Structure 1
């Protein structure tokens, strides 16, 4: 497969004019956009040889380092570029990305804020600032920024990252518009491969593309399912890993469960697409979507005849190259289907699998967890960007109504924890009633749920993997299902467990139910007992049955494309 026409033209241009600085910079851009980090790095270095301190060349090399995961070097290079070109919004935006990943979250916010000052009317930059302020629990000017982004999407003026847009209080139709705009912009200049067909006979080859095949939420959710699919023996399983081996036990289990685990990390998009095509994949699942760290460009090349959006991105792809979305009837009811660009396919159980082989470790003492010796422990271990003003007002109202209780949260980036304590103080609460848990290895984090009496969810982006973790560890989850996919995942898990009373109608019911439970130790204990019984009996965590259901879906989709293999027994 040859490079796209623009890259070929630029490669030819630098061969004809090897001292053309601008051509080298443009080539670096084109190579990096194509995912060819090595070629982009080489072009950026050649530009630097011509003009050693030029900000455009420094920025491209910084971007290459960022894509290589060398985040500290990337931040240093992009800082140098930004210092030399302080009025360049694009370089400042890239600096923000690098600072995020280099562990300098407050400096990243400063960079995004500066880029926004330079181009206040650019929705993409506005959305980046908005998203990062949400992560830092910095709620200044949040409503104005959100309204600007939503207006731009509504007017078709914006290319905004759909994943960040899920945190806005937007409708499913708005989310579809956002995803379609992003997909249309991404598809420009990406030629598809020649059409492929599903094999007419034989064992179907199912492919799964993700950057989460390791100690990552996607790996944790899927590993036991892949093991059951391998044991069932009806599919040839191919995992395409966009991330390198992290040495985790999850990665080792995935390697053993797959017939082939293809390490395609740091490969150009065209190379990855070719690997998928050469593997003869019949049905390809995109396990990343717009979630960041994925490669939608690969899917846009159509490497497989059937392509499916599933699991990691809780919304529509808006992309013409994705044929189906896999869901369940609660998380994606009929009323929501018109806001999805894909054909909706539903599983009979919750769409989200889980690792049902996990064993809870003994929990450390309450004191060791920073918890008081007595009192109800309410928890919300969702990521900080979900802790918006509306969600925190609900949680603060519950704390007011349950004397002596504490709220256990996951520690956020930068000064997020301090900002939440300040918000608690403004809500007339003792900030000490907020307890923050550092990020821990998964088994240690999971064990701590044994001290939590009730998980209180967020809105509009609610708990997903975190809800599964809580329920598996025996902690009931109270949620308020909304009208978008991202706001209905925890509700889906409760629904399929039969924990219907923990799905409430609105904020008032959420607060009232949480206060009632928090002041009734017997009711909390009964809820845990009911959850323990439903966990065993409901089928939510039955991965052997999930493997049969998923295999049946894959076979049905293949039959629609001419496959004539045997039905699953």
Structure 2
């Protein structure tokens, strides 16, 4: 059940039983989902519905509805079910609180009085179809389903009622029935783009991707400006790693509609993913020419710099400050007083992130929150993404609160944090995806700091500190930050050892008769300078091979493009093995396929370096002049592997050749490395937790 694909299959099977009326079988499967993933919103919501259907009543249903809503408050149906159940339970005050919360998040809910379960079957004055359409628009899905069914009972050829029925079934995740209903609409009106798009979405949910793509393409051919069809095809192409087709799609839309800033942004994201950084910059500049206040595009522009910047840049610092200035214009009334206690017992620390899940941020933070002293630190999570998984569930056990910011406008999100009485608010995202940096401009807590998920200044003046170690930010780099640097004593990062990781495999070189270098970094990190260094290393080590593994190499487009880059760098493709990504357990085992890793620069690895160390595989890194360029050096220093840190590209090449020729030394290191790093600062979570507690209190006391 650790495999998310298996989890979704189980949910689908449960929903199939549910829709067929096999309620006991459905309940058993939903509970199996929750046994592996206790915070799965779909399973909780559907168990609540089952409880009502089976007549077990509100006592059984309410806890499930409550959990579903708290896990994903951006989903209108979860909240609506919860509000209606609270109303039925004669808890009007609680219903009003949840209803108000949904409205603050921008959900288009009807007035509370209108959210009562229907008690009459008298036809409304406007007719069943219009009545059902209003119910659907406000998220009253079960009532809408009943209304559309009644409309079709009166007139079976009402194709608009049939479309409404299909849309409602889709919203209820009854995808098989929805697909069938959309097909019935298309049999009568085959060129109705709304039905084509709805049909495609239902097919995607059913895993019938080729049919979905055909339906999306038909809609786009009929209506070239249809944004839903465009985005639907784009998602399919990107998930299949069909990068060339995705790029062609974006460019075809822009040829007709160059004002589509969203498509310029999508193209920039695509080009970043395949490592075409300069072209991506052009796309984001186009976004900003059309929408100068587009904060997400500004974040993307700042993030791109880390792939190529080899030294500190005054321009990057200025662009970061410009972002902070713009964010401040969206926060006209920042807080000047706070509700937290002036002399805390436990310090209340908020964590703002979209990555409190199976993600590098989650991997690095798990050990900290598990070992922090609850008498000193009290954690509140503020997830900015609704997605949760098994790691989210483990993190949640150590949190005083799990307070989603999904869907909340910045002002409301800031108010939520302020009202929670947070002392120190940590931003774990910086200018990465799902960040909520504009919330920090409201100054919802008296102290704010940047840590973990980003590796440069945020430029937001209201963020007081950046937490680092002296390798990642030596004092000479401190002027490159708008934040004041607070130093952790050993390392800024502490990795949580993977559960159930296999034992390290013996070094492969003795059996193969040659050394295999490896790199598991994402495509944009593998710059031309990196390839040039690898070319020199491979030339000096006859018979050696290179294994490169990342998401971009899962499809033919990525493999073809990378082979072209290898050829330009003078590297024979026959010496390089290319692989896509694997699930984590398999990936950890695959670390044993290489003798040691060659890091990328100036953007090195983080999670991959730590996972490989745990599997007995060291990384050779090149220390640079920016915080991110020094990340590899920081990790290896904390792991006690200073001899694997190069200071120049020439030294990087020379060290790689030297290590490759010392097969006996590599074999000995493979056998002992896990135990060495287990007791190092990089993996010692209790030691790191004490250090982090001290730094957080230092930040609080320095306000």
TM-score > 0.5, shorter chain as reference = yes
Q: Indicate the SS of the match to 1:257.
A: coil
Contact kept, 8 Å, 1:242 with 1:265, in 2: the verdict is yes
Residue aligning to 1:320: 461
Query: Residue by residue, what CA displacement relative to the aligned partner does 1:386-414 show, whole Å, maximum 9, x if unpaired?
Result: 11222122223222222222222223334
Distance 2:439 2:221 in 1: 35
Distance 1:288 1:160, change over 3 A: closer
Asked which structure has the greater RCO (Cα within 8 Å, sep 6+), the reply is 1
**Superposed CA offset, 1:17-55 (max 9, x none):** xxxxxxxxxxxxxxxxx974768xx9xx89xx9xxxxxx
Q: Does 1:288 align with 2:429?
A: yes
Q: Distance in 2 between matches of 1:344 and 1:74?
A: 51
Instruction: Tell me by how many angstroms 1:298 deviates.
Output: 2.3
Check 1:91–1:328 CA distance in 2 against 1; reply closer, same or farther (3 A cut).
farther
2:303 pairs with 1:163: yes
Matched with 1:378 is 517
Q: Whole-Å Cα distance in 2 between the matches of residues 70 and 240 of structure 1?
A: 32
User: Counterpart of 1:307 in 2: which secondary structure?
Assistant: strand
Alignment of 1:523 onto 2:669: no
Query: In the alignment, which residue of structure 2 is the partner of 1:411?
Result: 550
Deviation at 1:208, TM superposition (A): 0.5
CA shift in 2, pair 1:79/1:376, >3 Å? same
Is the 1:112–1:129 contact (alpha carbons within 8 Å) kept by the matching residues of 2? yes
The 1-side partners of 2:464 and 2:218 are apart by 44
1:308 matched to 2:449: yes
> Given the two structures, how large is their TM-score scaled by the length of structure 1?
0.75
CA distance in 2, matches of 1:165, 1:96: 29
Which shifted more, 485-494 or 189-198? Answer: 189-198
Q: Describe how 1:82-481 pairs up with structure 2 within 5 A.
A: 103=240, 105-106=242-243, 107-113=245-251, 129=267, 132-137=270-275, 159=298, 161=300, 162-169=302-309, 171-197=312-338, 198-201=340-343, 202-229=345-372, 231=373, 233-244=375-386, 246-248=388-390, 250-356=391-497, 358-362=499-503, 373-413=512-552, 414=555, 415-481=557-623
**Alpha-carbon distance in 2 for matches of 1:194, 1:401:** 61
Moved more, 207-216 or 408-417: 408-417
Flag the 1:332–1:290 CA change in 2: closer, same or farther, 3 A.
Answer: same
Q: Aligned-pair distance for 1:329?
A: 0.7
For structure 1, which runs of at least 5 residues remain unmatched after alignment? 1-33, 50-56, 562-569
1:85-134: per-residue Cα shift (whole Å, max 9, x none)? 9799x999978975676556513333555678789999998887566334
In structure 2, the partner of 1:31 is none
Greater fraction of residues in helix: 2
Larger deviation: 406-415 or 234-243? 406-415
Deviation at 1:241, TM superposition (A): 1.9
CA distance in 2 between counterparts of 1:302 and 1:510 reads: 44
In 1, are the aligned partners of 2:517 and 2:594 still within 8 Å (CA)? yes
Relative to structure 1, the CA distance from residue 185 to residue 392 in structure 2 (aligned partners, 3 Å threshold; closer, same or farther) is same
Cα shift readout 1:119-174 (whole Å, capped 9, x = no counterpart): 9999998887566334224x5xx668769989x99xxx994622223213363433
TM-score (norm 2): 0.62
- Number of equivalenced pairs: 511
Structure 2 Cα separation of the partners of residues 418 and 164 of structure 1? 23
1:316-364 residue CA offsets vs partner (Å, 9 max, x unmatched): 1011221111111110111111111111111011111210363421579
TM-aligned CA distance change 1:127 to 1:180, over 3 Å? farther
Cα RMSD of the aligned pairs, angstroms, is: 4.6
- Deviation (angstroms), 1:486: 1.3
Q: Which runs of 5+ in 2 are unaligned?
A: 1-103, 110-133, 139-159, 161-192
Cα distance in 2 for residues equivalent to 1:38 and 1:339: 44
SS in structure 1 opposite 2:325? helix
> Over alpha carbons, which structure has the higher Rg?
2
Aligned partners of 2:268 and 2:283 also within 8 Å: no
Q: Find the aligned partners of 2:223 and 2:414 in 1 and give their Cα distance.
A: 37
Distance 2:670 2:658 in 1: 15
Residues 502 and 342 of structure 1: CA distance in aligned 2, closer, same or farther (over 3 Å): same
Residues 234/433 of structure 1: CA separation in 2 closer, same or farther (3 Å cut):
same
Deviates more, 1:213-222 or 1:195-204: 195-204
Query: In 1, Cα distance between the equivalents of 2:229 and 2:299?
Result: 17
Q: Structure 1's 243 and 87: CA in aligned 2 closer, same or farther, altered over 3 A?
A: closer
Closer, same or farther: CA 317–80 of 1 in aligned 2, 3 Å: farther
Structure-1 separation of matches of 2:507 and 2:515: 12
Distance in 1 separating the partners of 2:279 and 2:306? 17
Query: Are the equivalent residues in 2 in contact too, given 1:243–1:265 (CA < 8 A)?
Result: yes
C-alpha distance in 2 between matches for 1:78 and 1:265: 28
Change (3 A) 1:505 1:131: farther
- Partner Cα distance (2:618, 2:493) in 1: 17
